[in-house]
Amino acid sequence: MTKTKTVAAKKTTKKAPAKKVVAKKAPAKKVVAKKAPQKIANNKSKIAAYKSKKNEKYMSDAMKRHFVAVLLLWKEHLLDEMQKTFDHLKTKGETYADPVDRASQEEEFAFELRTRDRERKLISKIAVSLEKIKQDDYGWCDSCGDEIGIKRLEARPTATHCIDCKTLDEIKEKQLNG
Ligand SMILES: [Zn+2]
């Protein structure tokens, strides 16, 4: 007799927490949205990661040549993307009479313009990096002067700070922005 009672009770209480799991899924979407800017960065290179030789010094000529190639290819890719966006904005402009269509179109254009802006900034960063390679200044942290490191440069060829200084900057920035 008592057994059936507890089972029934469990059944009704069990349903409530199940809803919470569904609600928890919402913040996950934010992570996906944040990935957008990285799309460009990840697309930069089809060049295989640099393999250092034994006892090879940091930023050897071969290493520098590798990063020049990576940066140039990335720049080419970005210029290509910018041209595509530009063509798209040009051909798709003023095609919708329906206000709803126009609103979504404007949103799309705003997004594309932001992307273009980001691409333009990246291209100028690439130019700075290429200049640094020429000046033999590439691959060293602007803040502490330490090696930025090959691994980090492969992932972010325009990096100007080592991971420690970058992390510290980000923490400071977060504190400033509340
Ligand atoms: Zn540093």
pLDDT tens digits for 26-73? 454 444 444 444 444 444 457 899 998 999 999 999 999 999 999 999
How many whole angstroms from 14 Cα to the centroid of ligand 1?
Answer: 52
Q: How many CB atoms lie within 10 A of CB 89?
A: 14
Choosing among 3.10.450.50, 1.20.120.910, 3.30.2230.10, 2.120.10.80, the CATH entry for 39-50+58-177 is: 1.20.120.910
How many whole angstroms from 171 Cα to the centroid of ligand 1?
Answer: 14
How many whole angstroms from 162 Cα to the centroid of ligand 1?
Answer: 4
How many whole angstroms from 97 Cα to the centroid of ligand 1?
Answer: 54
How many whole angstroms from 100 Cα to the centroid of ligand 1?
Answer: 49
Domain boundaries, the chain: 1-38, 39-50+58-177
How many whole angstroms from 154 Cα to the centroid of ligand 1?
Answer: 17
Is the pTM value of this prediction over 0.75? no
Give me the count of residues in the chain.
Answer: 178
How many whole angstroms from 31 Cα to the centroid of ligand 1?
Answer: 27
- Going by C-alpha positions, the residue among 172, 131, 153 that lies closest to residue 50 is 153
Whole-angstrom distance, CA of residue 68 vs CA of residue 64: 6
Read off the pLDDT of residues 108-124 as tens digits, 9 standing for 90 and up: 889 988 999 999 999 99
Read off the pLDDT of residues 80-93 as tens digits, 9 standing for 90 and up: 999 988 888 777 76
How many whole angstroms from 148 Cα to the centroid of ligand 1?
Answer: 7
At residue 74 the predicted structure's pLDDT band, cuts being 50, 70 and 90, is: very high
Whole-angstrom distance, CA of residue 35 vs CA of residue 59: 30
How many whole angstroms from 33 Cα to the centroid of ligand 1?
Answer: 29
The CA–CA distances, whole Å, from 142 to 15, 132, 157, 159 equal: 56, 11, 14, 10
Ion ligand 1: protein residues whose beta carbon lies under 5 Å: 141, 143-144, 146, 162, 165
How many whole angstroms from 144 Cα to the centroid of ligand 1?
Answer: 4
